[in-house]
Chain A
């Protein structure tokens, strides 16, 4: 009669553990949500308040005093542009590398090393270059840099997905009368659609969340949502309330995206691992 009790106890412990883990994961996010709606006094109150009267004064401040609309628009533009560039380029490169293994592993390795670059190391020479050609504070420079840094991951992810598709299919197509390219277009591509979606989501999220490039290379014209947050570190001190609302605005879209496409995201990571 001890066994069922033991099992129940074990299950209970597991649920408790999961609850703890989830709480920790959610705490900062929830805190962000709360702080965004606190008045300045409430934000600074000691001990920190959980119950308070919410206000939207922070949001008002953000929308009036900062460049947030432009930031959101720019972030969207850059993210979409990066997706449009990296996903097709990555797909072709991935197909080439997965099926033909050009250049041995060397080319693949070079692409991988980009991933290893600390972005800060790239930004410094780029800053000088862009400054000289007058591309500073221009979305194009952001699009270029983000594309460069996202390409390795995109390519690598797509290589894993392409390897999942048996070579038999393309060969059957070619024997049936298709050229290699037709086989790619009519067989591989349709099967790759979910993979392309996953890759696009990842590329989009990374670009949206990117800060360093935006911080260094943009001022007012090409400002992105992440950079807008930097504007709350003023001489008067840090404006915690508006900062939180801005953070909320910046992260909310990604949260919603993650919840909506959770299946895809997990699958993307999973597949990359099983490679």
Chain B
């Protein structure tokens, strides 16, 4: 399931594993925790080889997506469990558990059973149980997935705040790119068991390494337009059917350097398309297919040939299906269609 993962995570970093279901995030977390063994490869904490060390000796904490609360124990006992396993004095345990319960605002629930709690409360108990031992590494497996939207956004801020307070290394798995982008110091984007790219949120957004990362990060998603690299004599351009984009010589050289394929992909983010009702020179005329009146920026679907391209427009620009507008591409990326790899990033244009 996991293939050739090489990750280095820094001390006290808030590191995110971002990817769709089945990407391998949970598997990776479990390997770090020690409940699953890799077929080959090593896991190191600082310079210590952890492969043969059982989970209980690794000083990690994990919060499961299903919370995994012990149904037959009270909230207090659930949270006290890791401490009891470390043979701590009961007085000490009580102090620690109560203080953490206080921070997480679940102190009033200490005597309840998990089945008497709401989803949000259970989540906080699971988090509490993970925090009681001050772990070296805190692993969080999609902790917010089971919560409703509003709670999710609230808890995101909580996590950010918590991570500043604790000094532990946090590894956080999620399929939600907005979540990852907002909380993480660095993110590893994963798909189908392979790490696609590692970098800070900015790096992923501005310089995606391949189509997957480009499309996965950012919302609404990056538009993908097929085009062909055409050379005629001294001139080179990208032919996308509906329009052509003339390439500079250096760009053409770069492309030819990196790939022999002529099938390319133009990737452009909705926020990098300018839309105007008045015709402007050098801009492309496109027809509006649909208009979603979302705030703050409306999403416009534009017809390019027989495909749709999404663009953002400020709220004062009201459009109807069938309207003709003029669009400019401010910035886009060029990818190799066959391999998905980035060829040229961030091409800036005037239209």
Measuring CB to CB, which residues of chain A are less than 8 angstroms from any residue of chain B? 166, 168-169, 171-179, 182, 187, 190-191
Binds A, one of B59-67, B164-172, B186-194, B255-263: B59-67
Residues of chain B lying within 8 A (CB to CB) of residue A187: 70
- Contact, CB under 8 Å: B56 / A179: yes
Can you list the 8 inter-chain pairs with the closest CB atoms, starting with the nearest?
A177-B85, A168-B68, A176-B82, A172-B68, A177-B56, A171-B35, A175-B55, A174-B55
Whether the pair B35, A177 counts as a contact (CB closer than 8 A) is no
In the complex, the answer to whether B71 meets A178 with C-beta atoms within 8 Å is no
State whether B71 touches A176 (Cβ < 8 A).
Answer: no
- With a cutoff of 8 Å between Cβ atoms, the chain B residues found around residue A171 in the complex are 30, 33, 35, 55, 62, 64, 68
| A-chain residues with CB within 8 Å of residue B33 when the two chains form the complex | 171, 175
**Chain B residues whose C-beta falls within 8 Å of the C-beta of A178 in the assembled complex:** 56, 81, 85
B273 nearest CB across to chain A (Å): 45
| With A171-B35, A175-B55, A178-B56 already in contact, 13 other A-B pairs whose C-beta atoms are closer than 8 Å | A166-B68, A168-B66, A171-B30, A171-B33, A171-B64, A173-B70, A176-B61, A176-B85, A176-B129, A177-B56, A179-B56, A190-B72, A191-B72
Interface residues of B in 68-114 (CB under 8 A from A): 68, 70-72, 81-82, 85-86
Measured between alpha carbons, how far is A61 from B86 in the docked complex, in Å? Answer: 66
> Can you sample 6 A-B contacts with CB below 8 Å?
A168-B68, A174-B54, A175-B55, A176-B129, A177-B133, A178-B56
Chain A residues, Cβ within 8 Å of B208: none
Chain B residue contacts of A166, Cβ below 8 A: 66, 68
The verdict on B34 contacting chain A, using a C-beta distance below 8 Å, is yes
Contact code string B31-44 (vs A, CB < 8 Å = 1, else 0) = 00111000000000
- A174-B61 Cα distance, complex, nearest whole Å: 10
CB pair B60–A173 under 8 Å, yes or no, is no
Say whether B64 contacts A172, CB under 8 Å.
yes
Residues of A close to B81: CB separation below 8 A: 173, 176-178
Chain A residues contacting B60 (CB-CB under 8 Å) are 175
By beta carbon, the residue of chain B nearest A193 is: B72
Cα-based distance from A168 to B85 in the complex (angstroms) = 18
Which of A166, A172, A182 has the most chain B CB atoms closer than 10 A to its own CB?
Answer: A172
**A175 engages B86 (CB within 8 Å):** no
Point out the residues of chain A lying under 8 angstroms from B85, CB to CB: 176-178, 182
User: How close is A200's CB to chain B, nearest CB, in angstroms?
Assistant: 19
Q: Is the CB of A177 within 8 A of B66?
A: no
Answer whether A175 and B72 are a contact pair too, CB < 8 Å, given A166-B66, A168-B64, A168-B66. no
Query: If A175-B34, A176-B81, A176-B85 touch, does A169 touch B70 (CB 8 Å cutoff)?
Result: yes
Measured between alpha carbons, how far is A166 from B65 in the docked complex, in Å?
A: 12
In the bound complex, residues from chain B placing their C-beta under 8 Å from that of A173 are: 70, 81
